[in-house]
Amino acid sequence: MKDVCTCENSVKEIYIYEDTIKGAINHCMQYGNLEAIGLLLGRRYRYSGREYVLIVDQIEVKSRSSHTFVEFDREAFSHIGGVLESEIHQKDFLVGWYHSHPNFGCWLSDIDIETQTTYFYEKYHSALVIDPVKRYLRFFKLAEGNKGYRNVDFCTLYGNKWQCKGCYDEIHEFRF
């Protein structure tokens, strides 16, 4: 894609539409002190020899959760299949997942790493962790060799166009 945002002449690993990230944040905020979980839909591209992902939408899924634990409800998988088969998402596929850590900050727990290595193990897969209480978020990917995880730079785009609203390479505080 030739119109890729190259803030500071660097292609980011993840680009996400502002409405998509706001949707994930709002979903997590609705759960308050309970963990929430959802999926990220997008597309893969290559620019100047670097692969990146454009996240175009998020899927809120039914879950069972507590303050420190969340898992997909069994009904979630039929809902996910329906969304992926819909006309609007014919070009999209799962590029990651998101969940909240209410008042615990942004990091991946051992269970989160297990989820990532079991279901989201491709190099393009990411995990977005949102702390709706402290109002922080951060993207992660598995480290090389699937040994732990690493932080991932991302760029927020607005207007469903390649117009950069901001690029972030550390924990990002959100306000809206």
For residue 2, being part of any structural domain is answered with no
For residues 69 and 35, the answer to whether their CB atoms sit within 8 Å is yes
Q: What is the pLDDT along the chain (176 residues), one digit of tens a residue?
A: 345 565 666 788 999 999 999 999 999 999 999 999 999 999 999 988 899 999 999 999 877 878 887 877 777 666 666 666 666 667 888 999 999 999 999 999 999 999 999 989 999 999 999 999 999 999 999 998 878 899 998 988 887 666 677 777 666 777 75
For residue 174, being part of any structural domain is answered with no
Q: How many domains does the chain have?
A: 1
For residue 175, being part of any structural domain is answered with no
For residue 127, being part of any structural domain is answered with yes
- Residue 94: give its domain's CATH number: 3.40.140.10
Using alpha carbons, select from 146, 141, 136, 140 the residue that is nearest to residue 173: 136
Based on C-alpha coordinates, what's the Rg of the chain? 15
Domain coverage including residue 42: 7-168
pLDDT tens string 34-82: 999 999 999 999 988 899 999 999 999 877 878 887 877 777 666 666 6
